[in-house]
Amino acid sequence: MKKIGILTSGGDAPGMNAAIRAVVRTALVNNIEVVGIHKGYLGLHEGEIFPMDRSSVSDIIQKGGTILKTARFPEFAQPEVREKAAQVLKIYGIEGLVVIGGDGSFRGAKGLAELGIKTIGIPGTIDNDLGYTDRTIGFDTAQNTVIDAINKIRDTSSSHQRVSVVEVMGRDCGDLALYAGLAGGATTILVPEKKFTKEEIIKTVMDGKRQKKHHNLVVIAEGVGNSDEIAKEIEEISGIETRLTVLGHIQRGGAPSAYDRILASRMGHRAVELLMEGKSARVIGTVKGEIVDYDIHEALTIKRPFNEKLYQIAMDLV
């Protein structure tokens, strides 16, 4: 392997820069040339490719976002668009490609692998929604960002004895709501994986009122539905003042945690090793603390299991 490319794609996640740094530096110590590709598959399609050296990744391990920029580019699902991208890679002499992103980005990598490009995926998304890996890069930092926000909301919520509904990111996966909800002491956690009724939500709020709780914290994953409506219904039925806070993109920013930096460094290092071993169509993950790699086709079929036990613990501790 003489030359590899690297791109970040889809929603950015804290720790992506640490992964880029690890890929670039591991390649360079092994005398492999590295090029960066701007704006994910969109930039690849448009040939936005530039050489990278050690100093291209200096002073980035602590930075949120991605120095390579990113984009959502649904057009990459079209075979002719992928073919053009594969052509670009061939013209530049790029034999291997490291893709940092989530499931959509991995589908793009799978498509390129089918066109003869050696591809390796590194999971970067705050959603932690990839079933084959215990953790994705960015999830730990995002959890901590949510917990920090919840702590602040709790202060004002207790002072006013209100119900606080906090909406966190997570379209199909409730991990961010679940983990941050448990760590933040939420009284109710609403996730797309678990059906619930309006009556159940109201019951926990009313139980809190009976127990003379100073506040009631409902953490809801965005994929559950309309949190504004849920907050209004809680207020109407319970008679307790209710406020909604949508955390939004604040969850995607910020300096990566130590955990995310280390995970990203290990995964980035492994990605280059796999390319040097001649592997392709693999994605890297972490299982029980070890770095593992999976066939990309298989990885994309594994649905993330919902952590029922953790949910139960959270509910028992209310």
User: Closest approach of Cβ 172 to ligand F6P, in Å?
Assistant: 9
Q: Is 210 annotated as a binding residue?
A: no
Is the Cβ of residue 95 or residue 127 nearer to ligand F6P in the bound state? Answer: 127
Is the Cβ of residue 9 or residue 204 nearer to ligand F6P in the bound state? Answer: 9
User: Closest approach of Cβ 13 to ligand F6P, in Å?
Assistant: 7
Count other Cβ atoms within 10 Å, centred on residue 79. Answer: 11
Is the Cβ of residue 89 or residue 142 nearer to ligand F6P in the bound state? Answer: 142
- From the list 127, 140, 175, 293, the catalytic residue is 127
Evaluate whether 117 touches 97 at the Cβ level (below 8 Å). yes
User: Closest approach of Cβ 130 to ligand F6P, in Å?
Assistant: 11
Q: Is 126 annotated as a binding residue?
A: yes
Evaluate whether 143 touches 127 at the Cβ level (below 8 Å). no
Burial class (CB in 10 A: 0-12, 13-18, 19+), 234: buried
Q: CA–CA separation, 246 vs 305, rounded Å?
A: 26
Is the Cβ of residue 3 or residue 72 nearer to ligand F6P in the bound state? Answer: 72
Evaluate whether 286 touches 92 at the Cβ level (below 8 Å). no
Strands (E), 174-307: 188-190, 216-221, 242-246, 282-287, 290-295
User: Closest approach of Cβ 240 to ligand F6P, in Å?
Assistant: 29
The overall longest dimension of the chain from CA atoms, in Å, is 69
Q: In what order do the strands lie in the sheet with 33-37?
A: 49-52, 33-37, 3-8, 96-101, 118-123, 282-287, 290-295
Q: Which residues have a Cβ under 8 Å from the Cβ of 308 and sit 6 or more positions away?
A: none
Q: Is 257 annotated as a binding residue?
A: no
Evaluate whether 148 touches 168 at the Cβ level (below 8 Å). no
User: Closest approach of Cβ 222 to ligand F6P, in Å?
Assistant: 6
Tell me whether residue 127 is one of the annotated catalytic residues: yes
Q: CA–CA separation, 53 vs 35, rounded Å?
A: 8
The partner residues of 44 in beta bridges, in order of sequence, read: none
Q: Is 304 annotated as a binding residue?
A: no
Is the Cβ of residue 4 or residue 176 nearer to ligand F6P in the bound state? Answer: 176
Site residues, ligand F6P (CB under 6 A): 11, 72, 102, 125-127, 169-171, 222, 252
Q: Is 81 annotated as a binding residue?
A: no
Q: Is 23 annotated as a binding residue?
A: yes
Q: Return the axis-axis angle of helices 258-276 and 16-29, rounded to nearest 10°.
A: 40
Is the Cβ of residue 92 or residue 306 nearer to ligand F6P in the bound state? Answer: 306
User: Closest approach of Cβ 156 to ligand F6P, in Å?
Assistant: 25
The partner residues of 96 in beta bridges, in order of sequence, read: 4, 118
Amino acid present at 38: H
Q: Is 215 annotated as a binding residue?
A: yes
What residues act catalytically? 127
Annotated binding site for Mg(2+): 103
Annotated binding site: 11, 21-25, 72-73, 102-105, 125-127, 154, 162, 169-171, 213-215, 222, 243, 249-252
Annotated binding site for ADP: 21-25, 154, 213-215
